[in-house]
Amino acid sequence: MKDISYYPGCSLHGTAREYDESIRAVSSLLDIQLHELEDWTCCGASSAHCTDEELAIDLAARNLAIAEKGHRPLLVPCVACYSRFKTVEIEVKEHGKKMHFPYEGNFPIQYSLDFFCEEPILEEIRKKRTKPLSGLKVVCYYGCLTVRPPKLTGIREYENPQHMDRLMEILGAESVPWSYKTDCCGASLVMTRTDIVRNLSGRILSMAKEAEADCLVTGCPMCQANLDTRQEELEKGGWKNGGLPILYFTELMGLALGHKDAKKWLSRHITDPIKVLSTKGLM
């Protein structure tokens, strides 16, 4: 049993609920015990770093100080929170910045995708895979902060990352090469300049369709929401590609590991994934 601290972040208690549910489920199947940080608060997100650097650091550091008391690695499923935390870690460890909260950077901060793509965990997945995702063609969509900037993420192949593709192959799916792996979906502009998000997300969805993918896989709640929820509007505007399910990588892990709740998570999506998965005999 591996013990690890867990910072779900705000989205996973709301619109990205199925991401939280599937992470908890697959962790339990892989003998990973998640300890949700007590009394965590918002990392500050884009709004804090767009407004004031010190405010952004304080809001993130408060959570890191709570995690430090736990003496365990910290698992962060939302890549936007992860990016904020890594920024603070670098401020402390590399620039010697003094914090208002007792945080010295004495534990590793891990983004969920990186965590589940570590070799010992992949080995465990290989062993426990009961329902390989045979015949499922996926495109792996990493987006921005999963890989950029590499000084925070430590990802060397940031223009053409491969780790999610490898995970998908281990689950038994076919990961299709495509050119929009790391293009931006428009992120938090969705509330204010929805037109930009429709444009950017529309291009990503079109390229995924051109690659003949059955679904797109991501590990970012913001990307998932933007790509999943804007398809109907795109169709009204003349986009003719039909629905493309947008799945969290942990949902596909749960499916391949045979978790009983997979259908519950998948039924929370706006663009229905169940039909495609049933056609492929995976549900």
Partner 1 sequence: MNTSEPTIQTENSFLSEVLQASGENLQACYQCQKCSAGCPVAYAMDILPNQVLRHIQYDHREKVLSSKTIWICASCYSCSVRCPNNIDIAKIMDTLRSMALQSGMKSGEKDIPLFHSVFLDTIKSKGRIHELSLILQFKAKTRDFLKDAGLGWKMYKRGKIKLFPSKFGGGKEIQEIFNTFEKREK
Q: Is 279 in the site for partner 1 (CB under 8 A)?
A: no
Q: Is 275 in the site for partner 1 (CB under 8 A)?
A: no
Q: Is 23 in the site for partner 1 (CB under 8 A)?
A: no
Region of 28-36, 108-116, 164-172, 178-186 interacting with partner 1 (CB under 8 A): 178-186
Between 15 and 241, name the residue whose CB sits nearer to partner 1: 15
Helix, strand, or coil (residue 53)? helix
- Let me know: does 4 contact 73? Beta carbons within 8 Å: yes
Q: Is 211 in the site for partner 1 (CB under 8 A)?
A: no
Q: Is 15 in the site for partner 1 (CB under 8 A)?
A: yes
Between 103 and 116, name the residue whose CB sits nearer to partner 1: 103
Tell which residue, 220, 201, 234, has the closest CA to residue 46.
Answer: 220
Between 23 and 173, name the residue whose CB sits nearer to partner 1: 23
Q: What's the sign of the alpha-carbon dihedral 149, 155, 159, 162?
A: negative
Residue among 122, 131, 166, 188 that touches partner 1 (CB under 8 A): 188
Residue among 93, 97, 100, 263 that touches partner 1 (CB under 8 A): 100
Q: Is 263 in the site for partner 1 (CB under 8 A)?
A: no
Q: Is 58 in the site for partner 1 (CB under 8 A)?
A: yes
Instruction: Report the distance separating Cα 213 and Cα 160, nearest Å.
Output: 18
* Least separation in angstroms between CB 180 and partner 1: 10
Q: Is 51 in the site for partner 1 (CB under 8 A)?
A: yes
Helix, strand, or coil (residue 267)? coil
For 42, the token pair is: 């918002």
- Considering only residues 128 to 167 of the shown chain, the ones binding partner 1 according to CB under 8 A are 144-145, 148-150, 158-159
Tell which residue, 180, 262, 257, has the closest CA to residue 218.
Answer: 180
Residue among 191, 236, 238, 240 that touches partner 1 (CB under 8 A): 191
* Least separation in angstroms between CB 269 and partner 1: 7
- Let me know: does 110 contact 74? Beta carbons within 8 Å: yes
Tell which residue, 251, 279, 280, has the closest CA to residue 267.
Answer: 251
**Residue reference for tokens 């749960």:** 254
Q: Angle CA(16)–CA(19)–CA(23) in degrees, nearest 5?
A: 150
Residues, the chain, total? Answer: 283
Q: Is 270 in the site for partner 1 (CB under 8 A)?
A: yes
Instruction: Report the distance separating Cα 196 and Cα 193, nearest Å.
Output: 6
Q: Where do contacts with partner 1 occur on this chain (CB under 8 A)?
A: 10-11, 13-17, 39-42, 44-55, 58-59, 62, 100-101, 144-145, 148-150, 158-159, 183-184, 186-189, 191-194, 196, 200, 229, 267-270
